[in-house]
Structure formats: structure tokens, C-alpha cells
Structure 1
């Protein structure tokens, strides 16, 4: 299997470099009037939940990218996994009249109205990783993130063709069902395993991205279906929880093929777990932070009249074939 699932297409961001897979262009009306190389600009980022390791990884990459632009000041607000908190923080950004807003909506529907208020106030809004219910280029400026359906679909195909060619029972641990990545990853995986008619999805349950909930859910799944041969977790934290449940059921590493999503670096990350044989695979989900800052530069510094409305960041499959090499990157 080709480990690189997606590559960026060449799409220019008016002096800010190449960005990928543009699905259209936002109207000039959605971009700022006050811009230029001599200005100083405040960017507000409403993060879904800093407590999640992936979210902290996003914050780190955004901070590093913004630090390279002297004109930018980045403010990160922690939504703490609460839509009311995140809504209030967004309203505060609007009141402060920040120059541009980034947001990763904790849940899609509840955050849609405040995104609309920001746009009505004339502030460009870039949604990062997670979407509201609006349409990029129309209801907000742009979306930057991975193709969650395709990431999970490739995970399903990897199970169907490589891990379980003879078929068997599999399970899925879904993220927070009210978030767009959770729904897309669930549906993508189930579509991917259809490539092998001998595979049966016997259990699926939401664990809200949390390892303890995943451990409890997968333990119950194994009691009901002791012959489960693989589990797809919609993020790395839930994959870690699934492994603990498997251990609790007397399984050794490799008895159940565990797949995660995020591919985080570091000692607690998915790359190490695959490299050391704890999991069978994980799929990196790049933060989109550098791309978001590039787009902010195009809007605020280069005075771009158009930007791509959708930018799809690349992902890589982390398998035993490349995990050790990826650990040092």
C-alpha cells in the first residue's frame, strides 16, 4: 500500500505560497479592507479542547508558524470541550475586533451561529480541522483540514486487504458524534472494509475521543464478540484505550489489530505505538497550522482578493514498514 494517501495540488495563495485542493475561491467581499505589509494583526484561535494531545499539537504548530511572521500576534482560547465556552470566546474575539479568526468547532451545529456573527462583523473566519454547518467561501472564508472520510476509508481498505485478507469480525470506536470528523471517519472506515466481503463490522460505539470511554466500550464489545480481530479507533487516544481493554481481556499485542488516527509523535503518540508493535497502524492527521498562517498572510499582509475555500492537507499511513523511520521526523 502506498503510505502517502494525499498530496497537495498546486494552488497559489497570492504571494503566500502553494496550498492544496482548492474547491473554489472566496469572494473579495469576504476578505479584509485593512491590510498590508506594514500593519500589525491579531489572530484569534478558538480551539476545541486543549486537553486533547492532538489539539495541543495543533496549538504548537500554529504558534511556531505565527512566530515567523513579525506582523502577527496569535491569541489561543481553550474551548475546553464546551460549546458555550467556545461561543463566548468567539464573541470576545468579535468584540475585540481581531483581524482574523481561526476556529476548530467542538461541535458543528452549536458553533454555526457565532461563526456567522464573526463573518457579519467583517472578520475573516478560517475553520481548522472541524467544520460548522456552513459552506466555505459562502458562510465563512475557508476550511483547512484532512479528508476524514478518505483517511478512514484507507484504514478500512488496509484492514480488508492487508491485515485481515481472510476476513473476520471488526469493531469501530467513534469520536464525538456531533463533530464532523467523527461521522466522516465512522462512515469512511465502514465503506473501506466493504472491499472484503468476508469482513463484518459487529460493533460500533461512540467514545467521544476519550481513552477511558474507549477502554470501557471496547471491553464490552469483546465480551459480546470475543472473536473480534481488529478495531478502528477514530483517534490515537481511543486506540490506546482499546489496547488496555484488549490487555484486560487477556489478549497479547497483535492478537487484535488496532488502528488509530492522528499519528502523533512523542512517547505517548501513535507512531511509537506502531513502531513497537502495540498497534497495527495509525494515520497521520496534519494540523493545517502552517497552511492556516499562510492563508492569514495572504489575506492580511498580501491583501489577496481570493483564497482557496477548501485546503486539504496530506496524510500518511503509519505501518510497521515505516513507523520506526517516521519516529525521528
Structure 2
């Protein structure tokens, strides 16, 4: 069967694979195979693929390079794919992708990184979670843990300009601005990366020993912050640390230095995006905006959320 053949190939190739004449082909340029959270999104696409024998999803790795992603899109269009399913390297890249897709008459589905309103007019469907909601939920959880205490906060940011970085941070700031005794002392770009966040936090804790809260735009940076804090001799009682995504790695740290995280269903986004690309390829109608809610997770919910992976 086709699915047996594709199990090893789905994330690594755009080469021609023998399919039945009536099979659909979805071109899926992805921003980075190295991104831990996105690996769970790929699992969602793979899950949909294994359940449908009349479609194949071909994923490519842009290595976070917009130029590489545009080249991948061109290759998919030239090969005559039935739809494009894209996690863009950044929201600015969606505009030229949309122009190419429209010119070729190919449906375009964007996952996870929401383009601006004008660009969305040229996109057939979006699947994701509202990033500002995650930032608000995360900040409110921190306020609850502070229970009226003063806070000096370090914000760890994703790659500057990415939709999630912009709106998760905005959600944080909307909440913290309501409290005069909560101050954002420093903001640094950790680029979603654990090792980079570790280095940043080591330096910032030396420069700002008054910091007692670290709020990260994602879990990998929160874990890096936790490792740096531990290295600096900080205990769980010294710092509140919060992340976003509720990855399996982060869930293991809940109650062990990581205080809260916010679940973003990577699998749900991947599966939902695949399903919508499949339906559009078959000429079916779909909703344009498809939202998957964020959910706050604390240590008491750890086991329940681990079961989602």
C-alpha cells in the first residue's frame, strides 16, 4: 500500500512517487524541520495522510530561509500539485507565496503563522491559534502565581517579526500593564531556541539580579531559562517561569521549575491543515479561518496533557 512506502519519505522528499492516477498531491513547504514544536505539527499531517489512501503530502524544509521556501513553492507549482499547505518562515513570505499560488490557480492554506489582514484576502484558508490569546492566558497565570507580589520580568521573545512573537508578547504586555507593581525589566530575542535562551538568561540574571519572573514566548526558551537559573543557583522559590506550547519536554519540567505553560495543539493544527488542504483539492468548501483554542496547563494537569502526544 502507498502508506507503507511513504512512512519514511513524507518529511524528506519532493521526488516523484508512484501513485494511482487519481491521487491528490499536496505540496507542503515547512519553515524548519529542526523546530521541536513543528515536529508535532508534522505528526498531525502524517496522521491525516495515513488515514487517506488517495492523497500524498510532500514536505520540504526551508531551514528558516525565505528564499529557500519560495524556491520550494516554485518547484511544487511546476510539478502541478493540487494544493499548497504552508508553515511560512515569516508572515512577510506569505504575500509572494499567495501571488504565485493565485497565478497558478492552486489553493493555498497557511498554518500557524497568521498573515496580515490584507494578505489573508489572497489565502484560501488559515489554521492556527490566536497568539494574543496565548500571551494573555500566560500572563494571567503569572499574575495569579504572584498573588499580589511585585514582579521584575524578563521576556524571552521568538524571532522578531513572526506573528507568534508579536502577538504573544502583546498579550503579555496588555495584562502586565494593568498592575503598577509589575515591571518588564528586559526583553531579549531567544529565537525559540533553548541554548540561546540559556545563554541570554545567564547574562541577564547577572545584570539584573532583581528579576523574579521569566516569561518566554515558547517552551524551549522557558526550559533554557530554567536550566540557566538552576546553574545560577536559583531555586523554584526564587523564580516564576512560564512558557507556551505544552510540549512533552516542557510537561516533564512542570512542577520542577517550570510553573505554567499554555497548550497549543501542534498535532491539531497539522491535522486540521491537512484536512482542509485535502477538501480544497477536491473542490469542497471550507471555512477561511479555523481556530484551535489555547489551554492553560499547570503541574496538576501534566499527565493528562502528556497523553495528547
Which category describes the TM-score, using the shorter chain as reference length?
0.7 to 0.9
- Secondary structure in structure 2 of the residue aligned to 1:253: coil
User: Is 2:217 aligned against 1:237?
Assistant: no
How far the C-alpha of 1:307 sits from its partner, in A, is: 2.0
- Tell me if the contact between 1:43 and 1:72 (Cα under 8 Å) persists in the aligned partners: yes
In the alignment, the residues of structure 2 paired with residue 166 and residue 160 of structure 1 have an alpha-carbon distance, to the nearest angstrom, of 9
In the alignment, the residues of structure 2 paired with residue 164 and residue 115 of structure 1 have an alpha-carbon distance, to the nearest angstrom, of 47
In the alignment, the residues of structure 1 paired with residue 118 and residue 272 of structure 2 have an alpha-carbon distance, to the nearest angstrom, of 19
In the alignment, the residues of structure 1 paired with residue 258 and residue 161 of structure 2 have an alpha-carbon distance, to the nearest angstrom, of 27
The structure that is helix-richer by fraction is 2
Aligned position for 2:136: 153
Where do 1:1-329 residues align within 5 Å? 39-133=22-116, 135=118, 138-265=121-248, 269-274=249-254, 276-287=255-266, 288-301=269-282, 303-304=283-284, 306-329=285-308
In the alignment, the residues of structure 2 paired with residue 110 and residue 137 of structure 1 have an alpha-carbon distance, to the nearest angstrom, of 12
TM-score norm. by structure 1 comes to 0.82
Q: Which residues of structure 2 form unaligned runs of 5+?
A: 1-20
Aligned position for 1:9: none
In the alignment, the residues of structure 2 paired with residue 115 and residue 139 of structure 1 have an alpha-carbon distance, to the nearest angstrom, of 6
TM-score norm. by structure 2 comes to 0.87
How far the C-alpha of 1:194 sits from its partner, in A, is: 2.7
In the alignment, the residues of structure 2 paired with residue 263 and residue 254 of structure 1 have an alpha-carbon distance, to the nearest angstrom, of 22
- Secondary structure in structure 1 of the residue aligned to 2:200: helix
Instruction: Compute the RMSD of aligned alpha carbons.
Output: 1.8
- Secondary structure in structure 2 of the residue aligned to 1:261: coil
How far the C-alpha of 1:116 sits from its partner, in A, is: 1.6
For residues 178-217 of structure 1, what are the alpha-carbon distances to aligned partners after superposition, in whole Å with 9 as ceiling and x for unaligned?
2111111111111122343311111111111111221122
How far the C-alpha of 1:129 sits from its partner, in A, is: 0.1
- Tell me if the contact between 2:205 and 2:211 (Cα under 8 Å) persists in the aligned partners: yes
Structure 1 runs of 4+ with >6 Å offset:
none
**RCO higher in 1 or 2 (8 Å CA, sep ≥ 6)?**
1
Count of residue correspondences: 286
